[in-house]
Amino acid sequence: MSKVERRKGSKPVTGHRSLVTAFIALGSNLGDPAQQVRAALRTLAALPGTRLVRQSSFYRNPPEGGLDQPEFVNAVAQIETRAGPRELLDRLLEIERAHGRARDYPNAPRTLDLDVVLYGDRVVREPALTIPHPRMLDRAFVLVPLAEIAPDAVVPGQGRVADLAAMLDASGLVKLA
């Protein structure tokens, strides 16, 4: 039993027997951002019960909201995992911390940012965890790389990723070699 006692008859949401396809958005704008994202992909691939299926190209883009900070490098990874949504988020937060992520203030520059954007066809609404990611539909730096690797993926209640990406202004994105 964990530190927090579960209600009688409830089941922990820590894992699944079958693999679930999930998509993780990765970003960095401190240090060597491309290297940070590459290292995070390696760490993601090494998570227990998880397999890295594919990754998008890397994209350079300006910080959201015209903030005065370095440009970001972003990508999206497709994984198959036995981790439940909350467990997966907890693992991503551990990876961020291991890469020196500090959460000084909202939209602060960061060594690494990892977000669960899709988790199978699940819709999750919990404190500190919302899937699909609540701002992904407004972010070309998420939808464009996601459409590159999974154009037919569906955002529950919204539509096909390729169609959603086509509606965004992606003029600020630069695909890196």
CB 134: neighbour CB atoms within 10 A? 11
Q: Which of 113, 125, 152, 169 is catalytic?
A: 113
- 164 phi and psi angles, rounded to 5 deg: -65, -40
Q: Is 115 among the catalytic positions?
A: yes
**Residue among 108, 84, 81 nearest 96 (CA):** 108
Q: Where are the beta strands (DSSP E) in the chain?
A: 15-28, 50-55, 59-61, 72-83, 113-119, 124-126, 129-131, 154-155, 159-160, 174-175
**Rounded Cα distance, 51 and 10, in Å:** 28
Q: Is 101 among the catalytic positions?
A: yes
**Whole-angstrom Cα Rg for the chain:** 16
Q: Which of 7, 115, 121, 122 is catalytic?
A: 115
**Residue among 29, 56, 43, 131 nearest 89 (CA):** 131
Q: Which of 97, 101, 121, 135 is catalytic?
A: 101
Q: Which of 6, 110, 121, 125 is catalytic?
A: 110
Q: Is 110 among the catalytic positions?
A: yes
**Rounded Cα distance, 80 and 99, in Å:** 23
Return the active site residues: 101, 110, 113, 115
